[in-house]
Structure 1
Amino acid sequence: MNKTPIISLLFCLLLASCSKPADLFSSYEEAQTALISLNTALSAQKNSHATGLSNEQLPFTDAYLARRHDIYQQLMQMKLTVAQTNQVNYLVIAERFPERYFVWPAHTDVLSNMLSIVKNDAQYKNIEQWLIFVQTQLKAAEQSNLKLNKIEHNYLKHYVQQAINSTDTPIELNESLSVLNNYLAQYKPRGSIGLSGLANGSQWYQSKLNYFANDVLSPLEWLSRIDSKFKSMQSQKQHTMVEASNASQLTKLLLTDSKIMGLDWSTGYTLLPQRANATQLEPADAQLYMAMMETDLGVHYHAWTLSQARLNLLKRLNISEEDARILVEDIIFYPGQSFSFAPQLLN
């Protein structure tokens, strides 16, 4: 009996088993849990029992990106709902864009999240290396004509200075924080506040519009629909209650249910288009999100300035200067998300 084929077969099976990912998910929920764990530093969850951070959990490092990509690829092989499939496709497309250069997203205090979890010297070393990585990536981004806008820049400076001034910050991080602080002090942000100011930013923005609006229309086509809708609405301004808050107004409205359904940390792990579609808007809220969508296009497509964006919201809504400022920051930090209401308001 010739044993060679059997031995070869067993050897091939061994190689195949060794080449498999460390864990294969049997369900959407398992993959979702893995993403929530991976993004611990980006979006700390209530009742989290995390006691440390692995190398994979340091945002946008090679280990993090590889792990995230593996989870996405496994999700693409699963049988999912239409809403889940749309979100996975959106997240996979987003991997092509320059997010990896901006490893500290300005709308979340990553360092504070990390320090709430890490409690030993060895892990402080990981945070120190990540702070160095933040600066390294920002420098690399500059070589590719990718820069923070001035709002993002100001938020990062605030986070770093806050950590330096805090007596709770471990002394092991003092040097890396000081170096990053000095770098940010001389950093020159880009002029545009919207995605159009980034290389490939227009394509990135289009992908967001396509996903959140669940339709494929150009920014100009969306603007035409918004203009027509405004003309059909009552000419007088409607009183719109917008609470001044540092949280995203859109997220605050939609995330009243603590149940986690989605995969994207930046939307609170919610399938935002699906949630928006299930939300009945009052006339004042409809006016609000119409103005948000219009301003979103102005900022990220037409390259409006901060003043132009604020003035447009003040013109459309009965809100204060402070509320307008907060809404503009939401639009800058969460491009396209207001278009989750487009199917309800513009079709």
Structure 2
Amino acid sequence: MKRLSLFTAVCFGLFLTACTQEQVVISKDDLRKEFVSLNQALRSLDTSEPSLAEIPFGENYLKSRHQLLKRGMAQMEDSELNYLMISERFPERYLPWPIQSDLDSVVVSWPESKQNEWFTFVLARLKNAQESKIRLSSLEQRYLVQFLSKWSLASVEKVELLNYLNDYKPRTRLGMDQLPNGSEWYQSKLNYFGGSVEKPLNWMQLLTIKLGESDEVKAIALDYQNIKTSLTEQFLALRCKPQDGVDWQYHYVHLVNTATNCSFEMTKVERQYWLTLMLLDVGMHYQGWTTQLAEQYLRSRIDGDDEIIEAILQHVSVYPASVFVFWGSL
């Protein structure tokens, strides 16, 4: 009986120890640092040579990211953490080379053996994605082909990936609607950035009413050729103090908190501009607008040259729904 009691006491002690270890408190600042470290290859915040903690979107990376999100959500309420956790349900892992990431400059700095490991991984991921009817957009395909074509490395692995991409059949539209569960994925982004659980069609109606019969407006002054930084983030940086976040896509800036905690007045032109991009966003990602239709709509609303029009389409394609952080300011 004494042995049983001792065994029970030891087990209970170990259980309490395990629970204590699982409940180690992590500050928001430390959580952010861990995300920055994990995503060093995707987004490097310093000028030193980035280290490779885990291959982005590899199994170890996905497990580490999931655990970080769980730790954060267990200890703090944060819309961004919840949004990123929801995003794990969707096919992001099969699209391992995001064109808005820093991977194109980072991979070059890796040893050749690591570069070839990366090429092999990307090729395998894209082949698996095709089996699940997950395809790159034509923009993503074109960007990666151009980058790989300029790369001096002539390894078998790089050439194999480049040949695959050259023969690749991308999605016919730039929006998310052609991805499996793309509409649901887009809805989660609208909910997060827009701060409201509205269906895309409801958003379309609201935006159409707000825009009314407004005249064509000038494209506001932003760095349109910089696909690495969203137009939303660029505009907020001019007006607001950035709030720390954990999403590498937006340079670890919490866009929602930044917009919410910032008080500024938009000009009429700025309001019309962002409303136009919001309607374009819903059209491309939910209604399945073709590139031609999206371009025609944009030209009818925005006074800008061909390069700016094309760049806006690319930004809206790469950063779905992010423009909706401005809804509360309109």
TM score, norm. by length of structure 1: 0.85
* Residue of structure 2 equivalent to 1:245: 225
1:195 aligns with 2:181: no
> 1:17 offset after TM fit, Å?
5.4
Counterpart selection for 2:164 from 183, 186, 204: 183
Superposition pairs of residues 218-229 of structure 1, within 5 angstroms: 218-229=199-210
Counterpart selection for 1:101 from 94, 97, 117: 94
1:29 aligns with 2:29: yes
Mapped contact 1:314–1:321 kept (Cα < 8 A): no
* Residue of structure 1 equivalent to 2:291: 306
1:161 aligns with 2:149: yes
Mapped contact 1:35–1:263 kept (Cα < 8 A): yes
Give the Cα–Cα distance (whole angstroms) in 1 for the partners of residues 316 and 39 of structure 2.
Answer: 22
1:65 aligns with 2:65: no
Give the counterpart letter for 1:246 in structure 2. Answer: N
Unaligned runs of 5+ in 2: none
Mapped contact 1:240–1:319 kept (Cα < 8 A): yes
Query: What secondary structure sits across from 2:209 in the alignment?
Result: helix
Mapped contact 1:276–1:340 kept (Cα < 8 A): yes
1:143 aligns with 2:123: no
Change in 2 beyond 3 A, CA 1:320/1:111: closer
Superposition pairs of residues 235-314 of structure 1, within 5 angstroms: 235-243=214-222, 244-247=224-227, 248-256=230-238, 261-277=244-260, 278=262, 279-314=264-299
Residues 259-300 of structure 1: per-residue CA shift (max 9 Å, x gap): 560111112211212223424322221111111001001110
> 1:258 offset after TM fit, Å?
8.0
Unaligned runs of 5+ in 1: none
Give the Cα–Cα distance (whole angstroms) in 2 for the partners of residues 134 and 9 of structure 1.
Answer: 50
Moved over 6 A (4+): 18-23
Change in 2 beyond 3 A, CA 1:16/1:185: farther
Give the counterpart letter for 2:52 in structure 1. Answer: L
> 1:230 offset after TM fit, Å?
1.1
Residues 18-67 of structure 1: per-residue CA shift (max 9 Å, x gap): 799899452111111101111111111125574x313xx21100000000
Change in 2 beyond 3 A, CA 1:176/1:260: farther
> 1:245 offset after TM fit, Å?
2.1
TM score, norm. by length of structure 2: 0.90
1:205 aligns with 2:189: no
Give the Cα–Cα distance (whole angstroms) in 2 for the partners of residues 3 and 305 of structure 1.
Answer: 73
Mapped contact 1:241–1:319 kept (Cα < 8 A): no
Give the counterpart letter for 2:124 in structure 1. Answer: T
Residues 292-328 of structure 1: per-residue CA shift (max 9 Å, x gap): 0010011101111212212212211222221111010
Mapped contact 1:255–1:268 kept (Cα < 8 A): no
Give the Cα–Cα distance (whole angstroms) in 1 for the partners of residues 58 and 17 of structure 2.
Answer: 27
Change in 2 beyond 3 A, CA 1:33/1:319: same
> 1:79 offset after TM fit, Å?
2.9
Give the Cα–Cα distance (whole angstroms) in 1 for the partners of residues 49 and 189 of structure 2.
Answer: 33
Residues 202-231 of structure 1: per-residue CA shift (max 9 Å, x gap): 000000000000001111100111111111
Give the Cα–Cα distance (whole angstroms) in 2 for the partners of residues 9 and 273 of structure 1.
Answer: 48
Query: What secondary structure sits across from 2:303 in the alignment?
Result: coil
**Between Structure 1 and Structure 2, how many residues are aligned?**
324
**Bigger mean CA deviation after superposition, 264-273 or 253-262:** 253-262
* Residue of structure 2 equivalent to 1:327: 312
> 1:88 offset after TM fit, Å?
1.0
Task: Tell me the C-alpha RMSD between the 2 structures.
Answer: 2.5
Change in 2 beyond 3 A, CA 1:229/1:125: same
Give percent identity, aligned residues only: 30
